[in-house]
Amino acid sequence: MEPEMKWEDETLTVYLRGELDHHNTCRLREAIDGAMRRLLPRCVVLDLSQTAFCDSAALGLILGRVREARRLGASLTLENVPPAVRRILDLAGGAEFFQNGTGGKRT
């Protein structure tokens, strides 16, 4: 599964569509990290409006991209977070994580 991405005003937006499980996140991780390293964006946005399913693998994907964005000097924001994703982020203390200077826009 290759994610759709948009590159505009130094912002890389990644649309995480479909089912974010362990099987799908492996490919997504490579694609997102590849784009971030190539483009060196100022901001990275993960748009979750079309995310149909997520489990702890999605959590690993999101937290891993936060770390990678930081390493590259970019900020990372989550947009259009569905309730199911929010619940898993909250369980891992992720909500708090996103309020500490990484954007953390939650809709």
User: Would you tell me which residues interact with other proteins (CB under 8 A)?
Assistant: 19, 21-23, 26, 29, 53-57, 59-61, 63-64, 83-84, 88, 91-92
Helix (H, G, I), strand (E, B) or coil at 15: strand
Nearer to other proteins, 40 or 91 (CB): 91
Handedness of CA 73, 78, 84, 86 (dihedral sign): positive
CB 37 within 8 A of CB 72: yes
Amino acid code (one letter) for 80: N
Nearer to other proteins, 11 or 19 (CB): 19
d(CA 2, CA 64): 18
Nearer to other proteins, 39 or 92 (CB): 92
* Residue 12 β-bridge partners: 7, 44
Nearer to other proteins, 11 or 18 (CB): 18
CB 22 to other proteins: min, Å? 5
CB 96 to other proteins: min, Å? 14
